[in-house]
Amino acid sequence: MTAAPFFTPPSSVLTVMAHPDDAELWAGGTLARCADSGAAVTIAVPHHAEPVRDAEAAAGAAILGATLYQYDQPTVTALRELLLAVRPEVVITHPLRDVHPDHRTVADTLVTALPDVVIATGYPHRVYTADTYNSLTLDGPIPAHTIVDITDTYDRKQRALATHVSQPITDHFGPMAETLSRLWGGRIGVRNAENFVPLPVLGRLPASLAL
């Protein structure tokens, strides 16, 4: 196991997720840390069929200090246009073998869109997958890799998550986020943390463990 208790914030980070509350749930504390450091933070999710979900996404992003970017469907063209528009240093998405089919679709589509964009622009420099339900994918537990201390931003993560009032936050997602953050935090000796696993970009992995 490798872990990174020290945090080197990127200049820009793009989170590409499937649902309006995913960024808050799986990476909210880290996104808030990036925003606090002066990084440009963008949360990208598809428009939802229920307008209230889009409003909740905007409210959650604002609490984290992020810009919300919404598109119609997670197609290769849509995600390629997103990557070209934002040109982030770091991208965060779902595990490729996530238990949720919508998560897998977004992650697979993003990976398909990446090569042409990286060749054309050089961005992103690094791509990571985030956590998932109880840290379990279809292939088993998510490995510990780049663990980010979110103790100072954990309350903002929970406040951003709580904006999604149409979802079972109090009884389900909130307690799960608390449990996962304490488990990852215990790996590096802090109260709360989030874990990320790097994906190769054209055969290259990040040279360091810092996000």
Beta bridge partners of 15: 43, 92
Residue 41 has what pLDDT? 98
Is 209 part of any domain?
no
CATH number, domain with residue 119: 3.40.50.10320
Q: By residue range, what is the domain housing residue 123?
A: 12-199
Residue 29 has what pLDDT? 97
Measure the CA–CA gap between 5 and 131, rounded to whole angstroms: 17
Please compute Rg for the chain using Cα positions: 15
pLDDT in tens, 165-187: 999 999 999 999 999 999 999 99
Is 205 part of any domain?
no
Given a cut of 80, is residue 5 above it in pLDDT? Answer: no
Is 188 part of any domain?
yes
Helix (H/G/I), strand (E/B), else coil: 59: helix
Helix (H/G/I), strand (E/B), else coil: 171: helix
Is 1 part of any domain?
no
204 confidence band (pLDDT: 50, 70, 90): confident
- Count the domains in the chain: 1
Question: What would the mean pLDDT of 24-41 be, rounded to a whole number?
Answer: 97
Least Cα distance to 40 among 88, 75, 78 occurs for: 88
Is 89 part of any domain?
yes
What does each C-alpha distance from 101 to 96, 97, 129, 138 come to in angstroms?
10, 9, 15, 11
Is 174 part of any domain?
yes
Given a cut of 50, is residue 203 above it in pLDDT? Answer: yes
Residue 6 has what pLDDT? 47
Is 169 part of any domain?
yes
pLDDT in tens, 97-150: 999 999 999 999 999 999 999 999 999 999 999 999 999 999 999 999 999 999
pLDDT in tens, 44-74: 999 998 999 999 999 999 999 999 999 999 9
Measure the CA–CA gap between 25 and 70, rounded to whole angstroms: 18
DSSP letters for 117-165: HHHHH---SEEEE---GGGEETTEEPPP-EEEE-GGGHHHHHHHHHT-T
